[in-house]
Chain A
Amino acid sequence: MADDDAREDNHKNPDERTEEPTEEEEREHREEEKENVAAVGGDGGSADRRSTSPSLGGRAEDLDEVAAAVVERFPGTVFHRSHGQPVVYVDRSVWVDMAGFLRDEQHFTQCMDVTAVDHLVDAERLEVPGVVPERFEVVANFLSHPRNRRLRAICEVPADAPSVPSVTGVYPGMNFGEREVFDMLGIAFDGHPDLTRILMPDDWVGYPLRKDDPPGRVPVTFKEDPSPR
């Protein structure tokens, strides 16, 4: 309790504190922030912090140079700046070509991670203009050591044909990552050398991270319980 009191003294009446600055000061502050944001190249529109609709990238001055190269090389690709990070939405037919392009021509030395998202029950989904939303999204994070920059590529995958070409030919380290996505979300990676379950048992039925796969489905059996599982 003593500690709490001491802490309380450090920042008195925090609830009232937010009301202290006058309107004018606040406006000034906001403008300052806007300038700061502009200085770092449109950092995902963080000027209005509580806004529920994050400002969408794609303005010409925001275009990331690597993303620009990808957009130029693969028509139909959509660039989006997500909280300051460059993201490209790529069609799945060029998924592997894009990975090869990033590695061989853009010096993206490593693919850090492959994962996927199931958007089945989203209350509200981030809308990116130009992208036709599908149920699944496969997400890959690329890292370039020489250029010290990152790029995220996202590929829309429809629910009726959940498959994507495998990037293991370009980045062999995505072997485990793609197996995990297959195991958890049931998205097949064409051309993967060993597409088997990795975390779940081999005889598992269903894909746990899909939104229509409810948690707690397996009945618990006890030693004395005569009923089979």
Chain B
Amino acid sequence: MSDMRDGKTFVPDPNLTRLTDERSQELEHRDVVVTGGPWPEAEEDGETMIINMGPQHPSTHGVLRVMMELDAETVLRAKAVIGYLHTGMEKTGEELTYVQGSTNVTRMDYAAPLSNELVFSLATERLLDIDVPPRATWIRMYLVELNRIASHLLWQATNGLDLGALSMIVYGWREREETLRLLEKITGLRMNHNFIRPGGVAADLHDGWEEDTLALCDTVVKGASEYDELLTGNPIWQERTAGVGVITTEQALALGVSGPILRSTGFPWDLRKAQPCLAYDDVDFDVIYTENGDCYDRYRLRLHEILESVKIVRQCVEKMPPGDYRIQDRKVTPPPRARIDESMEALIHHFKLFTEGFKVPPGETYVAVESPRGEIGCYLVSDGTGKPSRLHIRGPSFYNLQAMTPMLEERLIADAVAVISTIDPIMGEVDR
């Protein structure tokens, strides 16, 4: 583990941040036996019992129900039961125009709403075959990385709380609140921003955003070094997380797992690097990955990812290009408010856009970006009208949750909390 204690600078551990895809070449595809078969009744020998953890358990991050068969304190098998937060958002998405769509998807992964908006907007733009101006792209990248910081800080806080490091909830929340404050200043809302929209972003950055951002970066880096000091070398913390909830790369791939959980198994796959969208090509950052695939590694990995995101955000401040923050096509984005008073054309465009939206030629597309939890994808089908015929969001948490089963088998029940927490499921996204 690298030393981050000087608070300002962070020297990446070369062992951690090596980027290679050699590993993927040597993979073997073996059958991984996993999750979810039908559960027969527990045998009547009285040795084992089936209990439910959740859906109202405080450490299940919402309403996740975990069925576990226990032999004394050992978990023999486990199964995630979901759907308690299902709100039919994909169905709702079919009733909303593309202009309104981002208000809907932003509520799915409520800890990283901007990733949802981004993936929806990118899919819509691909169906329209339009490109947004460079400044819009950079603002998007900047916001998504800020959001990644906020999301990982939230995770650090709740993960600490789950595992008994109670002070972490205070520290983590402190920095997260600062991040959300900046996001609020930019977008107007702390969460569910509806800021990244098809055609660009909703508004330009405010005056003085550079100073605000750099100040925030310092705060976050200082905070991260404090968490590092508090937890990384802490023997109780290590005892609680190291070697717990282990998953191999093969298992993770077979289960459709992506994001930090996949990277924690020593598989350096990050869509930001591998299939760069936005301007990730133009910024310098490392893909963090660790070797062991246990809860401790997932903790370290997310801590370092915060610092990588800070790196990207700092470069955004340096390199932010001038220009338009949204495409100047009146069929897709509304005219500036002041134009409406002067121009009949602008008034009509504005009215049309917000009543019936824009029409998208029939087609289908799948767009994927890296959210803080892994690959978030949007499968969008248009039937030539102003509303999507089908809007499907591939939530990373939805598939990541399946990794819980192999992680929990033959482990103690106390580890279940650590495992669920380090999977970082956001139930709003799992159930949609």
Write the B193-212 contact mask toward A (1 if CB under 8 angstroms, else 0): 00000000001100000000
Whether a CB of chain B sits under 8 angstroms from the CB of A117 is: yes
Complex partner residue of A85 from B82, B336, B337, B366, CB under 8 angstroms: B366
Do residues B377 and A44 form an inter-chain contact, with CB atoms below 8 A? no
Do residues B127 and A83 form an inter-chain contact, with CB atoms below 8 A? yes
Whether a CB of chain A sits under 8 angstroms from the CB of B260 is: no
Known: A176-B399, A176-B402. Contact between A82 and B256, CB under 8 A? no
Do residues A113 and B88 form an inter-chain contact, with CB atoms below 8 A? no
- Could you say which residues of chain A place their CB within 8 Å of the CB of B335? 14-15
Q: Which of these binds chain A: B240-248, B307-315, B338-346, B407-415?
A: B338-346
Do residues B91 and A215 form an inter-chain contact, with CB atoms below 8 A? yes
Do residues A119 and B389 form an inter-chain contact, with CB atoms below 8 A? yes
Do residues A139 and B379 form an inter-chain contact, with CB atoms below 8 A? yes
Q: Give Cα A13 to B38, complex, Å.
A: 64
- Could you say which residues of chain B place their CB within 8 Å of the CB of A10? 204, 324
Whether a CB of chain B sits under 8 angstroms from the CB of A163 is: no
Whether a CB of chain B sits under 8 angstroms from the CB of A145 is: yes
Write the A126-152 contact mask toward B (1 if CB under 8 angstroms, else 0): 100000000000010100011010101
Do residues B24 and A145 form an inter-chain contact, with CB atoms below 8 A? yes
Least distance between A181 CB and chain B CB atoms (Å): 10
Whether a CB of chain A sits under 8 angstroms from the CB of B58 is: no
Q: Which of these binds chain A: B6-14, B25-33, B151-159, B165-173?
A: B25-33
- Could you say which residues of chain A place their CB within 8 Å of the CB of B95? 215
Whether a CB of chain B sits under 8 angstroms from the CB of A111 is: yes
Whether a CB of chain A sits under 8 angstroms from the CB of B272 is: no
Among A53, A110, A124, A125, residue most surrounded by chain B Cβ atoms (within 10 Å):
A110
Q: Give Cα A218 to B257, complex, Å.
A: 35
Complex partner residue of A173 from B21, B267, B390, B399, CB under 8 angstroms: B399
Do residues B91 and A208 form an inter-chain contact, with CB atoms below 8 A? yes
Among A104, A123, A139, residue most surrounded by chain B Cβ atoms (within 10 Å):
A123
Complex partner residue of A83 from B86, B129, B255, CB under 8 angstroms: B129
Complex partner residue of A122 from B92, B336, B389, CB under 8 angstroms: B389
Do residues A7 and B336 form an inter-chain contact, with CB atoms below 8 A? yes
Write the A18-35 contact mask toward B (1 if CB under 8 angstroms, else 0): 100000000000000000
Whether a CB of chain B sits under 8 angstroms from the CB of A162 is: no
Q: Give Cα A18 to B339, complex, Å.
A: 15
- Could you say which residues of chain B place their CB within 8 Å of the CB of A194? 36-38
A contacts with B, residue count (CB < 8 A): 68
Q: Give Cα A99 to B156, complex, Å.
A: 38
Do residues B88 and A215 form an inter-chain contact, with CB atoms below 8 A? yes
Whether a CB of chain B sits under 8 angstroms from the CB of A225 is: no
- Could you say which residues of chain A place their CB within 8 Å of the CB of B253? 109-110, 145
Q: Give Cα A82 to B361, complex, Å.
A: 12
- Could you say which residues of chain A place their CB within 8 Å of the CB of B33? 172
Whether a CB of chain A sits under 8 angstroms from the CB of B362 is: yes
Do residues A109 and B390 form an inter-chain contact, with CB atoms below 8 A? no
Q: Which of these binds chain B: A58-66, A67-75, A197-205?
A: A197-205
User: Quick one: closest B residue to A141, CB to CB?
Assistant: B366
Q: Give Cα A59 to B7, complex, Å.
A: 57
Least distance between B69 CB and chain A CB atoms (Å): 15
- Could you say which residues of chain A place their CB within 8 Å of the CB of B364? 82, 87, 117, 126, 139
Complex partner residue of B86 from A3, A14, A152, A200, CB under 8 angstroms: A200
Do residues B392 and A115 form an inter-chain contact, with CB atoms below 8 A? yes
Whether a CB of chain A sits under 8 angstroms from the CB of B381 is: yes
Known: A115-B392, A176-B401. Contact between A141 and B256, CB under 8 A? no
- Could you say which residues of chain B place their CB within 8 Å of the CB of A124? 362, 383-385
User: Quick one: closest A residue to B326, CB to CB?
Assistant: A11
- Could you say which residues of chain B place their CB within 8 Å of the CB of A126? 362-364
Whether a CB of chain A sits under 8 angstroms from the CB of B368 is: yes
Q: Give Cα A46 to B363, complex, Å.
A: 13
Known: A15-B330, A141-B377. Contact between A198 and B83, CB under 8 A? yes
Whether a CB of chain B sits under 8 angstroms from the CB of A209 is: yes
Complex partner residue of B324 from A11, A52, A109, CB under 8 angstroms: A11
Known: A11-B328, A152-B366, A215-B91. Contact between A146 and B256, CB under 8 A? no
Least distance between A87 CB and chain B CB atoms (Å): 8
Whether a CB of chain B sits under 8 angstroms from the CB of A186 is: no
Complex partner residue of B328 from A17, A201, A215, CB under 8 angstroms: A17
- Could you say which residues of chain B place their CB within 8 Å of the CB of A171? 254, 256
Do residues A172 and B365 form an inter-chain contact, with CB atoms below 8 A? no
Do residues B330 and A113 form an inter-chain contact, with CB atoms below 8 A? no
Q: Which of B4-54 contact A (CB under 8 A)?
A: 21, 24-25, 27, 29, 31-38
Whether a CB of chain A sits under 8 angstroms from the CB of B178 is: no
Q: Give Cα A203 to B313, complex, Å.
A: 48
Known: A7-B203, A123-B383, A184-B90. 19 other contacts (CB 8 A): A51-B361, A54-B363, A83-B127, A109-B29, A110-B256, A112-B399, A113-B392, A113-B394, A115-B392, A125-B383, A126-B364, A139-B364, A141-B366, A146-B21, A150-B366, A173-B254, A173-B402, A198-B82, A199-B82
**What 4 A-B pairs come out closest when comparing CB atoms?**
A173-B256, A124-B384, A173-B255, A122-B383
List residues of chain A with CB under 8 Å of any chain B CB. Answer: 3-5, 7-8, 10-11, 13-15, 17-18, 44, 46, 49, 51-54, 82-85, 87, 103-104, 109-113, 115, 117-119, 122-126, 139, 141, 145-146, 148, 150, 152, 171-177, 179-180, 184, 193-194, 196-201, 208-209, 215
List residues of chain B with CB under 8 Å of any chain A CB. Answer: 21, 24-25, 27, 29, 31-38, 82-83, 86, 88, 90-92, 95, 126-130, 203-204, 253-258, 267, 269, 274-275, 324, 328, 330, 335-339, 343, 345-346, 349, 361-366, 368, 375, 377, 379, 381, 383-385, 389-390, 392, 394, 398-399, 401-402, 431-432
Query: Can you report 15 A-B residue pairs in the complex whose CB atoms are below 8 A from each other?
Result: A11-B336, A14-B335, A15-B339, A15-B346, A17-B328, A109-B29, A125-B383, A139-B379, A141-B379, A145-B24, A145-B253, A177-B399, A196-B38, A199-B83, A209-B390
